[in-house]
Structure 1
Amino acid sequence: MPNINQQISESNRLPAAAYLLTGCVAIVGSNSLVLGPIAPEVAHAFGSTTSTVMAATAAFGLATATSALLFARHIDRLGAWRVLRASMAVLALALLSSAAATGVVMLSAAQAVAGLATGVALPAIYSNAAAIAPPGRESRTIGAVLTGWTLSLVAGVSLSAVLAQYVQWRAVYAAVAVLAAVAFAILSYSKHPRAVAAESAPMPTEALKIPGVTPLLIVCGAFMSAFYGIYGFLGDHLHNGLGRPLSANGFAALAYGLGFGLAAFLDKFVDRVGPRRTMPIALCAVGAIYLCMALTGAGFVGLLATVFVWGLVNHIAFNALIVRLTAIDPARRGTIMGLNSAVTYLAVFAGTTGFGAVYTSFGFIASAILAAGLTFVSAMVGAFARKGQL
C-alpha cells in the first residue's frame, strides 16, 4: 500500500521543470508588458513623447512575429531546451541594452533584439511544457506554465511602476535582465532531455498543410486580436472615459492577472472534459464577457469584476488552444508553436490598429461588441474544427 500511495502522489505532482518554464514565461511576459506603465518616465528622460517611446513596443512585436515565423521552425531540429537557454541569454543582453539606452532609437533596437529572442523562447517553452507533461495531465502542466503571465502582470507590471517612480525606469529593465540571466544559469546547469527531430526543419508554409493547424491558427488570430484590441484601450477608457486616476489601470491589470492565475485550479477539468470540447465553450464565454463589458463599461466596479472573470475564462480558452496545437504533431511542435506565436504577435498589431480606429470613432462599447463578434467567430471555427469540418 505505501508504494501504491507513493506512486499516486508522484503521478499527481507536476514536473519540477514546469516551474522553471513558468519563471521563463514570467520573464518574457514582464518585458512584453512593462513599457506601457513606465513610458511617461522614459519619455521624460529622453525628452520625447509617450507615443514616440511606444514605438519600441511596435519594434518588439514585429521582431517577435518575424522571429517566430522564420526561426522557431528550427526548435525541433536543435532541441527546445537548448533554444530556450540561448534565447534567455540573448534576452538578458537585450534588456541590459534597454536599460542603457540613451534614446528612442537605441531602446527600439534593443527591444527588437528582445523580440527576436522572444519569438523563439515562447514556442520553445510551450513545446517543452507539452513534452514534460505526464499523460492525462497536459492541461494542468501547460496551465501551470501559463501562470507565468499572471506573475508578469501582477508582479512585473505593478512593480515596474514603483521602481520607475522611486528608483529609475532603467532599474526595471536591469531587474528583468538579472532574472533572465538567472534563468539562463539554471537552464545551463540543469539536465533536460535533448530529443531532436531527425528530419530537417520544415518551412512554416509546410506546417500549414498539417491537418488541424490552419483552423486553430484562425482561432488564435481572431481570439488574440479581440483580446489585445480591448486590453490595449481599457486603460484609456478607465482614465479618460470614466475619469479614474492612472492607478486604476493597475487595479484592472491586477484583477485580470488574479483571474488568469486562479483559473489554473480549473485546468484539471480541461483534462477531464478534453480541450476539443472545452475550447469552443470557453471562447463563447469570453465573447459573452465582452458583451458584459459593453453593458458594464460605464461603471468602474462592475467593469473591474468583469475583467476578473475575463482573466479567468481567457486562461481556460488559451490553455485549451495551446494543448490542441501542441498535440497535433509532437515531432513538429516547435514549428507549429512558432506559427502560433507569429499569429499572436501579428494580432497585437492588428488588434491595436483596428480597434484603435473603432475606439476613437465609436468608443469602448463599440469596441467590446466588435471583440465579442471576433471571439464568437473563433468559437465557431473551433467547433467546426472539432467536428472535422475544417
Structure 2
Amino acid sequence: MPLLLQATAAFGLEAVVGRELTALGLPPTETEDGRVRFEGEPVDLVRANLWLRAADRVQVVAEEFDCTDFDQFFEVVGAIDWTRWIPYDAAFPITARSVRSALGHVPTLQSMAKKAIAEALCEARGDAPGSPVPEVGPPVPIEVNVRKDHVSLLLDTTGPGLHKRGYRDLSGPAPMKETLAAGIVLLSVWDRERPLLDPCCGTGTLPIEAALIGRNMAPGLQREFVAEGWPLAPPDLWAEQRAAATEAALPPLDSPLQGGDLDRNAVSAARHHAERAGVGDDIHFQQRPIAEAGSKGSHGVLLANPPYGERLGDADTVHQDLAALFNRLEDWSAAVLTPHPAFATMVGRKANRRRKLYNGTLACTLHQYLGPKPPSLTGSPV
C-alpha cells in the first residue's frame, strides 16, 4: 500500500516543489498553502529528502479524521496501529498545532496523543496497561495538526529542516535559507549553459544553490535524516539512494558563475561554503561594489537578494546600483527578491512576473524580468 506523503514549503514555493516532485516521478495529488501531497513507497520518502531543493521537510500522513471532541480524539488515535511506524524502543516526541478548531488547547492535544499512542504500543506488545514505554531508540517525531476540525497525524522523516544542507557553517548578517535560494533559481530562466551573476551574494547561498542545480548534485547528500533510524526506511535503502545520487552528478560547469559582495568577510565565507558544498571551482567570488560588477557573457541571468537595511531608505543606493547594473546587461534576464517598494521604478520597466515570497517573516516580491532567449543554449558565450 503506497504511503501518503507531503512536502511542506514556504508560502509561494508550493508550485516549485510540485514541479520538483513531478521531475522525481512523484506527481502531486493535492496542493494547498504550505504543503504538497504525493504518494510513494518508502524509497520515495528517501528520494524526496535527498533531492527536494525548495521544500522545508517531508512528512508521512499516518492518519486523518474529522473531530471536535477530545474523548473521540483519544479513541481514534489509540486505535491506530502505531507499530507500523514506531519501533519498540523509539522515542516519539509530540508537537501540536490547532487553527480554528474545537480541539483548540494544544497542550491537551499533545498529552492525549502521547498517552493514546503509549497505551496502543503497550497493548500491541503485550505489556501490562500503564507500562512505561522505553523511548531510548531513534526518534519518530509526530505532529498533531488540527485545522478547521480536521486532524492530521504526521510523521516527520526529515529532522532539522531541509535548508540545513550541511555546507553552511558560517553566518552573515542576514542569511537567506538555502531552500528559498534554490526556489529563486528554479523560478528563474537560468540553466547551466547560461552565465549567472549575483552582485550582492553575501555568504554565497544563491550562486551555491545554482551551482548545485547546474551540476545535478542532490542537496541532501551531505546530511543525515531522522528517518534513517526507522524500519520503514532501513539504512541500506538510504545507502543505495545516496550512491545513485552521487552517480547522477554532472561534471563541473564550463564557465564559473559569478558572485560578488562589498564585504570582504562575506566573500571569504562564500568561498568557504562553496568548497564545502563541492562547487568551489564552479563559482568565482570577488569583493567589489555593485556599481563595478558586470559580465562579458550574453543572455545571462542576474540573481539577487539585495540587503534591505534597517530602514528601506538605507537600501536606496544598493537598489539603484542594482537596477543600473541590470540595465547595462542588455540581453540578460533577472530575478530579484526585495521588499523595497520602489525597485521596479528604479529599473524603469515593468516586470514580466511578480511573485510574493517570504524571506523569513518578511514579505518580499520576486521581480522577474525576461530578456531575449539565447540563439542557442548550447555554446552560448559566457
Task: Give the TM-score taking structure 1 as reference length.
Answer: 0.22
> Whose helix fraction is larger, Structure 1's or Structure 2's?
1
Higher Cα radius of gyration: 2
Structure showing greater relative contact order (alpha-carbon pairs closer than 8 Å, 6 or more residues apart):
1
The structure whose residues are more often strand, as a share, is: 2
